[in-house]
Structure 1
């Protein structure tokens, strides 16, 4: 066996039967739900418990990240939306019309992340409009985190059902 064949055996390109895909899916959604608008959830909990400097740190982090997100969207929203739409439609076409499993796996990873991007921009606009101090800010961050968790749970469930169906279908064919 040569090195290329060995590498392809280790790195299975059939995504849904690959353990690394499922590990990446779990890490992705764990990270997304932990970092709400760039603020780790443990900082939000500490700010709620202690107040004072911890709350000031959360407010500063949120201000920085919200301004950054809104600046990117205000100056390059057309480009961002265009690129996301192009790549998702390309992956959808490759995955579900041409049947490329790797593209299907990427759609099931990146598609829900576009919802996360939309929810984050929407929440950033709400925070910039007013709820950017104290308990109101902490409440907004908690609600946003719950929205991201729901998106993640639905995404994981859909990916698990589709991946299982795909693995059963492929095992029947071969």
Structure 2
């Protein structure tokens, strides 16, 4: 057996039957849900409960991250959008037209995350336009988290359905 066979025996490229894929899916959505606009959700809760310095810290961190996100979107947003569309189209074609399961799994991870990216840019723009502070800022961040969690729940549900379909359709021996 050569190194190529050993490697692919160790790292199963059939994603939906691989435990590591499901662990990655859970970690990605847990992390994405916790860090809205790069701000940990516990900071939002602490600012809401205690105010004072916690609220000032939250406002500063949101201002820094929102300005950074909007600057990146303004300066190179078209390039990023172009590469993202190319990448997602490539994954979609490889996965769902040519039947590559690894590309399917990446598509089912990347597409919803791109939607979360668009929601993040929209939220950052709204925060900047409103000059949101205090309770209004906290509500914006909580709404952003809710939208992220809804996208995540739908994504996990669709991924689980597709994964079950693939595992039933392909079977344990790969075809």
Class of the TM-score when normalised by the shorter of the 2 chains: over 0.9
1:44 match: 44
Aligned-partner Cα distance in 1 for 2:153–2:97: 26
Runs of 4+ in 1 over 4 A off after TM superposition: none
1:157 aligns with 2:157: yes
**2:12 partner SS:** coil
Pairwise CA RMSD of aligned residues? Answer: 1.3
Displacement after TM superposition at 1:4 (Å):
3.5
**1:12 partner SS:** coil
Aligned-partner Cα distance in 1 for 2:149–2:104: 22
Displacement after TM superposition at 1:8 (Å):
1.6
2:142 match: 142
Write the deviation string for residues 91-130 of structure 1: whole angstroms up to 9, x where unpaired: 1111111111111111000000110011000001100011
Aligned residues: 174
1:169 match: 169
Displacement after TM superposition at 1:149 (Å):
0.2
Write the deviation string for residues 138-158 of structure 1: whole angstroms up to 9, x where unpaired: 010001000000000000000
Displacement after TM superposition at 1:131 (Å):
4.6
Gaps of 5+ in 2: none
Displacement after TM superposition at 1:2 (Å):
4.4
Aligned-partner Cα distance in 1 for 2:6–2:23: 21
User: Does the CA contact (< 8 Å) of 1:131 and 1:140 recur in 2?
Assistant: no
1:64 match: 64
Q: Residues 60-99 of structure 1: matches in 2 within 5 Å?
A: 60-99=60-99
> TM-score normalised to the size of structure 2?
0.96
Write the deviation string for residues 67-92 of structure 1: whole angstroms up to 9, x where unpaired: 00000011111101101000000111
1:128 match: 128
